[in-house]
Amino acid sequence: MGLFILRRLGVMLLTALCLTFVVFFLTNLYPNLEKLAKTQGNQRMSDEQVVSWLENRGYMQPTLVKYGQWLGVVPGFRNTLDDGQFVGTCARPGSTPETTPRFCGVLQGDWGYSTVFKEEVGTIVAKRLGNTGYLMFWVLLLMVPTALLVGVLAGMREGSALDRSLSTFSIITTATPEYVSGVIFIAIFTSSTVGLKWFKGTATQAMDNPTFENFFLPVLTIALYGMGYIARMTRASMTEVMTAQYIRTARLKGVSFSNIVLKHALRNALIAPFTVIMLQFPWLLNGVVIVETLFNYKGFGWALVQAAGNNDIQLLLAISVVSVFVVLVTQLISDIGYVYLNPRIRIS
Amino acid sequence: MEPLSWTGSLAFLNPILMIALVALAVSVLVWILASIVLPEPQMTVNADGTVSSSGGLRSLVEAALWYSFLASIATVVAYLLLGVFMGTGAGIVGAVAQQFLPVWVSLIILFAMSVAFKRRLGLYGKLFDSPIGMIGFALVMFWVFTGIFGALDLIVTHDPLVQLSGMKNKVPGTPLPNPEDGQFAWYLLGGDNLARDVFSRMVKGAWIVVQIAPLATMFAFMVGITLGLPAGYYGGRLDTFLSFLANLILAFPVILLFYLLVTPEIVATGVPNYMAAVLFIFPILFIAVLLNSRYYTRPNFRTPLLIGVLGIAIWLYLSLISTGGHVINTDAYSIWGLPTYLDLFDIPGGILVVFVSVVFVNSPTVFRIVRGLAMDIKTRDYVAAAQTRGEGPWYIMLWEILPNARGPLIVDFCLRIGYTTILLGTLGFFGLGLPPESPDWGSTINEGRKLLSIYLHPALPPALALLSLVLGLNLLADGLREESLKD
């Protein structure tokens, strides 16, 4: 088991390196750098000015060197401009050659400096992740129990009225992406045309002061889309368990139906959904980006949109590291958890 | 011109529909409760060996459900049928029903033909045994026909890109201030915030989805199958390497990938063209290997067949990837492609990058499914028989394993078209790729959401259209799964 986890960690590290390099490569293509130069410097720069702006700030070095600097294995670029301003990968506004460290990269715990927000990337990501973490906590709290309940109730008696209506419900939720359900919810519950006005159409205030009124719709929108899929998987696993031999034995020896479901079936039926819930995290990340844009909630997804829209290279890299980390760790947890939950499977 | 009301002179049907819908809702609730509370019907075995069940409350509840369902459906059909004949006389509903006339006719013909010949149509015919599959198929074909006829300018009432003054954010059914001769006199579903017709934009948006989604899914399947079969069949290093690549792409959050790939700057570097050149080669490889492995024992037949098929395929491939005589045309350098007089069609850079990135995102998942199926099927006896017969590995993969994996693949194909539709909507929602004035559903939702608290009508039609198409594809996949399991 230890060896297995070690190998998985190795693969994870390799994946993360490859992915960040891809992001690095794509954000460092010349047209993207040109856009960066024009947004940071001056919109009306000529082509020569763009090149010299980029060269002065070390953006024209070979990609591998720049990647090494970002990782912290190559000394950071440093240069003093003609007007005496000190610039470089490790430089911050107001820093001098003496106060700037030689290496500054992920290995040194320095995530870089955001060109859009004019702030340390580490602090931005931490703050935005905090907002998103709060959102995700409530999403999971709403989504997982509801989905499991729906799935178990539907799979308990295959083909019954309850099964058919709950299955229809879960098919409809899987067919409704967040930007559709969000728009429909905003239209019904917040607009002055329909006139219900139960909730707020934006979650901007929810960052400081989350209330049921301004926070429930974003949570519901993300939860619904993921819920259907988990519920369908739970239903499939529950129906499979309910046809198993030991359930028939339990029925024949006269155990009551509620006891069969609660004591015999449920525990076995919940193994498969555990994996599904874990693998659902990457999709939740998508939902987060859409919903945060739709409801104007300034979290991780919102930061992603801002970073990508303005080609903020270091912020974008940090965001991709975090999201790749989330994806890979949930995969690992799902694999390990599956082994622990299901004693029939043992990894050599 | 008078503004149109929703139902016009069919308003007498409204209370009937309300009653029917309320009855339906109540009977569904009662049905669910009854199935929990009431005991299951007792089966009694009669003396002559037949079995009869006592009717009781349960069958009563089911009858109530059935009749209220029929009543609701009948009222809706009455709206549509009367609407087709009365047109704008029957309000917005009637006018919309009349505009959709070609779609109704095609749907009726398609269903009549399919039901009549369903025994001869294989899996497709079996679909018409499952009510869920039929509903899903009807929804999907509704949008397919809408897309096709919309592209032929049959359904649309106005040009989706033209702005008419005085129609900004007008509610559904508003008449044009000064209509010209031959111009449709109303905005059926209102105007958006640039004074364009919401109804026509929705119909035109269907065409974009119907064009891109199935084709992109097909390409993703070609890539996934061509790589997944050998990975599953051979295993070993090849499998490890390809799986690592697939997991690499899957570990990327889709939206981040889109934001990195689908930007005008990336289009300018030619990266999508390189990706297109690589990804679009897989269908050619697939066809070549497919035909060669089958017919290589008959060279006289194989050689002309391959030359013919591959000639056409390569021609299509080259005209697909080359635009204006270049494969890649950036400021810094360009690579020559097919000359313009041989180029069959040009794909604008924006569409190409959307297409490529959707294929790119979908193919790893297909790869994993195909790989899993191949690993499962390669242990079967018929594969062993083919190996003993001395068949080559590609023959076994493509003509033994693939046909036996078709059930799950067809089901996944339907689901994946739905997923691709959602992805296209996501791209439009973030304003990536497609031009901003394009009538695709995602962009329209994105534009409409900004004024959502005051004007609902620009955002809701495309949202509901997308929802119904994806729902239809999901139901279709469910129906197909059910029927293919019965095989």
Which residue among A161, A179, A191 places its CB closest to the CB of B456?
A191
Kindly indicate the confidence band of residue A325, based on its pLDDT and cuts at 50, 70 and 90: confident
A280 near B CB under 8 A: no
Q: At residue A314, does pLDDT exceed 80?
A: yes
CB nearest to B449's CB, from A15, A289, A294: A294
Do A93 and A147 lie in a common domain?
A: no
- Residues from chain B contacting residue A30 (CB–CB below 8 Å): 269, 332
CATH number at residue A169: 1.10.3720.10
Which residue, of A59, A91, A122, is where some domain finishes?
A122
According to DSSP, the residues that pair with B244 across neighbouring strands are none
pLDDT beyond 80 at A107: yes
pLDDT for the residue B361 = 92
Considering only CB atoms, B252 lies closest to which of A19, A175, A193, namely A19
User: Among A20, A27, A29, A183, which would you mutate to test the B interface (most chain B Cβ atoms within 10 Å of its Cβ)?
Assistant: A183
Contact criterion met (CB < 8 Å) for A177 and B470: yes
Task: State whether A212 and A269 are in the same domain.
Answer: yes
Residues 203-222 of chain A whose Cβ lies under 8 A from any Cβ of chain B: none
CB B458, CB B444: distance < 8 Å: yes
Three-state secondary structure call for residue A114: strand
Domain presence at residue A86: yes
Residue A327 near residue A279 (C-beta atoms within 8 A): no
> Does residue A263 share a domain with residue A167?
yes
Mutate to test the interface with A, among B451, B452, B455, B466 (most CBs of A within 10 A): B452
Q: What share of chain A is helix, strand, coil (3-state, %, to 5)?
A: 70, 5, 30
Chain B residues with CB inside 8 Å of A320's CB? Answer: 252-253, 256
Q: Name chain B contacts of A19, Cβ cutoff 8 Å.
A: 248, 251-252
- Check CB contact under 8 Å for B259 and A305: yes
Look at residues A66, A88, A122 and tell me which one is the last residue of a structural domain.
A122
By C-alpha distance, the chain B residue nearest A184 is B460
Q: Supply the range of the domain harboring residue A65.
A: 30-122
Question: pLDDT tens for residues A22-44?
Answer: 888 988 888 888 888 888 877 78
Interface test with A, best of B139, B256, B485 (most A CBs within 10 A): B256
> Low-confidence residues of chain B, pLDDT below 70?
39-43, 53-55, 324-325, 330-332, 487
Residues in chain A within 8 Å Cβ distance of B478: 171
The answer, for A296 touching chain B at a CB cutoff of 8 Å, is no
Q: Which helix (H) or strand (E) holds A80?
A: strand A78-80
The verdict on A290 touching B (C-beta cutoff 8 Å) is yes
Tell me the C-alpha distance between B133 and A311, whole Å: 46
**The whole model's pTM is what?**
0.91
Q: Are residues A155 and A294 in the same domain?
A: yes
Residue A288 lies in a domain: yes
Number of domains comprising chain A: 2
Position A347 in a domain: no
Residue A13 forms part of a structural domain: no
Separation between Cα atoms, residue B198 and residue A332, nearest integer Å: 47
Residues A159 and A257 in one domain: yes
Cβ-Cβ contacts under 8 Å between A and B: the total is 152
Cβ-Cβ contacts under 8 Å, A157 against chain B: 35
CA angle B332, B336, B341 (to 5 degrees): 130
Across the strands, what pairs with B43? B53
- Collect all residues of chain A within an 8 Å Cβ-Cβ radius of residue B442: 179
Between B18 and A195, residue with greater pLDDT: B18
Residue A263 lies in a domain: yes
Considering only residues 253 to 272 of chain A, which have any Cβ-Cβ distance to chain B shorter than 8 Å? none
A179 and A318 co-located in one domain: yes
**Those residues with Cβ within 8 angstroms of residue B263's Cβ, 6 or more apart along the chain or in another chain:** A32, B432
A194 and chain B in contact, CB less than 8 A: yes
Same domain, A224 and A174: yes
Examine the domain organization and report whether A270 and A134 are in the same domain.
yes
Q: pLDDT category, A276, cuts 50, 70, 90? A: confident
Q: A13, A26, A178, A328: which to substitute to probe chain B, counting the most B Cβ within 10 Å?
A: A26
C-alpha triplet B244, B248, B252: angle, nearest 5°: 165
| Confidence tier at A346 by pLDDT (50, 70, 90) | low
Contact A220, A295 (CB under 8 A): no
Could A32 and B266 be called an inter-chain contact, meaning their C-beta atoms sit closer than 8 Å? Answer: yes
Residues of A in contact with B459 (CB under 8 A): 183, 187
Q: CA B50 → CA A8, A153, B43, B44, B45, distances in Å?
A: 61, 33, 10, 9, 6
Contact A79, A54 (CB under 8 A): no
Interchain contact, B248 vs A176, CB within 8 Å: no
Are A80 and A190 members of one domain? no
Q: What pLDDT, in 10s, does the model give residues A220-272?
A: 999 999 899 899 999 999 998 999 999 999 989 999 888 998 888 888 888 88
Taking CB atoms and an 8 Å limit, are A311 and B265 in contact across chains?
Answer: yes
Is A63 among the domain residues?
yes
- C-alpha B439/C-alpha B99 separation (Å) is 18
Residues A221 and A314 both lie in one domain: yes
- Could you identify the residue written with the tokens 């791209």? B427
Decide if pLDDT at A348 tops 50: no
- Number of other CB atoms surrounding residue A104 within 10 Å: 23
Q: Per-residue pLDDT averaged across A311-324, rounded? A: 87
CA distance A288 to chain B (A): 10
CATH of domain B200-484: 1.10.3720.10
| Neighboring chain A residues of B269 at a CB cutoff of 8 Å | 29-31
**Within a domain: A18:** no
Same domain, A139 and A251: yes
Euclidean distance between CA atoms A186 and A200, whole angstroms: 8
If asked whether residues A172 and A92 sit together in one domain, one would say: no
Answer whether B261 sits within 8 Å of A171, measured CB to CB: no
Task: Identify which has the larger pLDDT, B134 or A79.
Answer: B134
Closest residue to A172, CB basis, from B34, B268, B471: B471
